[in-house]
Amino acid sequence: MAQRVRKAIFPVGGLGTRFLPATKAMPKEMLPIVDKPLIQYAVEEAAAAGIEEFIFVTGRNKHAIEDHFDRSFELEANLEQRGQGELLAAIRDCVPSDTRLAYTRQGQALGLGHAVWCARGLVGDEPFAVLLADDLIQSETPCLKQMIEAHAPLGGNLVATMEVARAHTPNYGVIAPGATRDRLIEVKGLVEKPKPDLAPSNLAVIGRYILQPEVFSHLDRQQVGAGGEIQLTDALASLIGAQPFYALRFAGRRFDCGSKIGFLEANLAFALERADLGTEFRRLLRQYADAGAR
Ligand code: UTP
C-alpha cells in the first residue's frame, strides 16, 4: 500500500488575466459559483478525500483567501443576533481548523511548477496532492477521493485526465498513454500544450495531481518551459520511468472556470442542481431561450 496522502497544495498565485477586471484586487479562485468561491469547493473536495493539511500558495492578492478561511467573529455575532443559524453554520463550516492551514507566498507568478515548488518546505518528504481550484469537478464521489482510492494500491504519481477535442490540446498538458485498465491509464509521456497534430493523444491532464516529493528535485532547476513559465508538466515528465505514473479517467464533469464560458457553464450546472434555486432558474432559462428563438 502507498503512503497515505495527508497534504494538499492549492496554487492560487496566478494572475487570472482572463478575468480582469474582476481579478484586479482578488484571486480568481475567489470567484463564486452560485454563492461559494471556487477555492472553497476545492478545499471541501480535499477534506472529503481525507486531506489533513491545506497549503495555499498565494500571490499578490492573498488576503481575500486568508480572510475567507479565517473565523469572522463580527459577522458570526451579527448572524447569531439576527437568528440566521443556517448562514452562521455555512460560514463556520467553510473553515478547517487553523492548525490545518498553511500559507506561503509565490513572489512572482512564474508558472504552476514554480507555485508548487514554493510549497516544498511545507510538504517535506511525503506524497501530496495538488488541486487547481479553477478546474471545478461535479461528481458523485469527489474527484480527489476517486484518485486517492486508485492511488492507494499503486503508489507513485497519479494525475486526473479527460478526453478533449483535438483542436484544444494546445491548452493542456497531454498524455502519451500506455496500457489501460478500466479508468487507469499508464502514462508513458507528457507534453505541455502540444499543437493538435503533434499531440500524443487527446487525453488532457486536469488540475488534480497526487505526486511524490521527488518532483521537487526537478523543480529545483527552475527550468523554463512552454509559454516562458516553469511548468509542472515538465517536472512530471522527468518522473516517468523512474516511478510508477498513471492517469485516472475520473467519473464526473469538469468545468474550466479559468475561462469565461466554463465559469458561466459551471454557474448554470451548479444552480440547476440547487434545491432552493433550480425551479426558478429553470423557468428563467426557458424564458431566455424562448426570447432567443423569437
Ligand atoms: P492558469 O494557467 O489558469 O493561469 O493557472 P492564471 O494566471 O491563473 O490565469 P490567466 O491565464 O492569466 O487567466 C492555473 C492554476 O495555476 C495557478 C493559478 O492560480 C491557477 O490555479 N498558478 C499559475 C499559480 O499559482 N502561479 C503561477 O505562477 C501560475
Per DSSP, helices labelled H in 94-231 are: 112-118, 120-123, 143-151, 215-219
Question: Domains in the chain and their CATH numbers?
Answer: 7-255 (3.90.550.10), 259-294 (no CATH)
CA of residue 67 to ligand 1 center, whole Å:
20
Q: Pick the atom of ligand 1 nearest to 111's CA.
A: 28
Residue 57 CB–ligand 1 contact under 6 Å: yes
Q: Pick the atom of ligand 1 nearest to 27's CA.
A: 19
Q: Tell me, what's the pLDDT at 28? A: 94
CA of residue 52 to ligand 1 center, whole Å:
24
Cβ(230)–Cβ(11) under 8 Å? no
Buried b (16+ CB within 10 A) or exposed e, 1-19: ebeebebbbbbbbbebeeb
Helices (H) and strands (E) in the chain, counts: 11, 13
CA of residue 112 to ligand 1 center, whole Å:
6
Q: Tell me, what's the pLDDT at 80? A: 84
Q: Tell me, what's the pLDDT at 98? A: 57
Give pLDDT tens digits along the chain (294 positions).
788 999 999 999 999 999 999 999 899 999 999 999 999 999 999 999 999 999 999 987 778 999 898 877 888 888 888 888 888 888 777 766 655 899 999 999 999 999 999 999 999 999 999 999 999 999 999 999 999 999 999 999 999 999 999 999 999 999 999 999 999 999 999 999 999 999 999 999 999 999 999 999 999 888 888 888 899 999 999 999 999 999 999 999 999 999 999 999 999 999 999 999 999 999 999 999 898 777
Residue 17 CB–ligand 1 contact under 6 Å: yes
CA of residue 29 to ligand 1 center, whole Å:
10
In sequence order, which residues have a C-beta less than 8 Å from that of residue 225 and are 6 or more positions away? 111, 113, 192, 231, 233, 234
Tens digit of each residue's pLDDT (9 = 90 or more) over 5-18: 999 999 999 999 99
CA of residue 92 to ligand 1 center, whole Å:
28
CA of residue 114 to ligand 1 center, whole Å:
11
Residue 192 CB–ligand 1 contact under 6 Å: no
Q: Tell me, what's the pLDDT at 99? A: 58
pTM of the model: 0.94
Residue 116 CB–ligand 1 contact under 6 Å: no
In sequence order, which residues have a C-beta less than 8 Å from that of residue 140 and are 6 or more positions away? 251, 252
